[in-house]
Structure 1
């Protein structure tokens, strides 16, 4: 039976009962965007707890890794006691990747705002290539290009081949052809004997003297000579795999190494 309220109106008894905790939870939902699962990685002796979404959203390698059923065991990455182990990499390499991946846009700390070094960007290039982070790999390539243009080209060629940045090959080979210093014995190992032989052919194409034995002077210097056509012919097979390289201004490469 309804009973009279303070104002004489009838009021159902159940209406004054507070909703239960279960009723409250029925209305609570996870936000479709801003609700993150975390994953715990172990690299060497360091633990990293990071939003899982950044990894599975941008990398097919991690996406497949996260879909592997754990079986009867506790899923790796769920806690500090059961981290997901990342083998064959160093903690500092992973830190470089995370610095780019999680770079804050607003009010970064001094540590967060610190620019990566050349080696740091190489770490990013290595891991983004290994794990298929295409967008971050592109950032690493674009960031490394102006840095490598100022270095000796042997390292540039080696990085291009190691991480399959084919757009670097032609400008890097051109830089080596223009270098004033001759090829050194210690450069045979990183370049490979075939490259050394081919590069010797390219470098020897520079016209030091005319048919009468008169040496060129003035503007005709190795640093300004255009070896592109010779490089295309000598390294034709390797350059077939190269992506467009027009984005790299060959004229900005430093050819003055001694």
Structure 2
């Protein structure tokens, strides 16, 4: 990962060099944006907020613009911020997609055709020190099975992704038969590669020593021979000649360095030499015999890949949104709070807001919401709006492939506003988050399905479980549901009992007849 550095500017081009012909990106030249970037002959326009949110690498050029220059670097097509030469236009497309679109697209397992996109995101994030962006890219690539064991361990070390994230890959890397290659060492980095190589040697010695200990218990007849290392008589055990000091010897082994053909036996103070029996064509002990899982775990447990590595990334960013962003173009008042945000996100998500911002104003009249003294007022709860802004600004930075109990109320809040303002894609993502197994109690999931007019398939399994569980609806559960839904559950439970019990075919038929039958309208 590179350290912060001064960004390249258009003026950095060598003297006498012809300016490169550039075109505007068809997809990612956002007219509402305030910062222009050039990558591989293509101009991109976006909101500088997202760069500030992701990294400090652009602070120098962005702070320069805040000093009062209206045509500073990145503020016009003629003077764009220039990415490094190895950043391709498709890499920049991927980064802009992450900022603006990934919140709408990231499921538990991203589509495999997005693998190149996430590789591009990771590449740019590492180059420009976008710690959390890189972490999310790592998680996405992992969920798509796009990382080798070596790459996964390398990313785990670079981005501090948590011990469990790469534990299985680390075990396989240490236990595999083939040694580390030069490519592996380059990917891992010198310090982690050295530690892994040491752990692999330790595992081989441990495996060989265990095999030797087993051979001591199975002596077989053999012509006597002499140990070539110490001159004592050796004994053959299944094709391996060994010699050892008698049990209870007084050898002082403190500070003694074992060579490759030595092993400390179980008897205290005993060194055991071993070498292949001259009468044995192939040795019966081998490093090729896979080590046990217990051996691998014992070696991994004492492995510290972070030793000697400095400048660790900070921990994951917390959920946050600064209410007054100095580069937002619209002011919105919700209850007693005023938010300065980018209208682009509301227009992108909702036809309701798109129409609102297109309303004409009178001559010389300031557009409503253009100043803090004349904000657009929304009759909603402030905490609901803050959660919606989390979706727009922060959710791309947080990878939540499994149920997180701390986010349930937040996603319910997002669902509420998405339904109110006709944000169909936002609503779809909220339903995805709330629809994971275990995210919601069955009755509550059924209640939400009815309240927001969601397709029956979203909560059909929850409805079925309520109908076949041993206990009936509680008073609190009845209060949470509409009368028609309560009647449907009661009727379904009774019919299941009368018609032979909860068989699969029986449940499917009865649930189809009773769930949302006459109770399909949202609201109320």
1:178–1:223 CA contact under 8 A, matched in 2:
no
Task: Give the Cα–Cα distance (whole angstroms) in 2 for the partners of residues 63 and 120 of structure 1.
Answer: 24
Deviation at 1:237, TM superposition (A): 3.9
Deviations 1:59-118 (A, max 9, x none): 11001001112336432110110111111x111111111111112756x8xxxxx99521
Deviation at 1:131, TM superposition (A): 1.4
Distance 1:67 1:98, change over 3 A: same
Task: Give the Cα–Cα distance (whole angstroms) in 1 for the partners of residues 371 and 392 of structure 2.
Answer: 22
Report the counterpart of residue 81 of structure 1 in structure 2: 373
Task: Give the Cα–Cα distance (whole angstroms) in 2 for the partners of residues 163 and 209 of structure 1.
Answer: 32
TM-score by length of 1: 0.63
1:60–1:132 CA contact under 8 A, matched in 2:
yes
Report the counterpart of residue 175 of structure 1 in structure 2: 465
2:415–2:431 CA contact under 8 A, matched in 1:
yes
Report the counterpart of residue 45 of structure 2 in structure 1: 33
Report the counterpart of residue 42 of structure 1 in structure 2: 333
Report the counterpart of residue 99 of structure 1 in structure 2: 390
Distance 1:117 1:225, change over 3 A: farther
Deviations 1:42-68 (A, max 9, x none): 111111111111111221100100111
Task: Give the Cα–Cα distance (whole angstroms) in 2 for the partners of residues 154 and 42 of structure 1.
Answer: 35
Paired residues in the alignment total 194
Q: How does 1:1-258 map to 2 (within 5 A)?
A: 33-34=45-46, 38-71=329-362, 73-87=365-379, 89-103=380-394, 117-146=407-436, 149=438, 151-166=440-455, 167-207=457-497, 227-235=507-515, 237-238=517-518
TM-score by length of 2: 0.33
Distance 1:194 1:139, change over 3 A: closer
Q: Which runs of 5+ in 1 are unaligned?
A: 1-29, 109-113, 211-219, 242-258
2:346–2:353 CA contact under 8 A, matched in 1:
yes
- What do you get for the CA RMSD once the two structures are aligned? 3.3
2:329–2:342 CA contact under 8 A, matched in 1:
yes
Distance 1:48 1:146, change over 3 A: same
Distance 1:226 1:98, change over 3 A: farther
**Pair member with larger Rg:** 2
Task: Give the Cα–Cα distance (whole angstroms) in 1 for the partners of residues 481 and 446 of structure 2.
Answer: 8
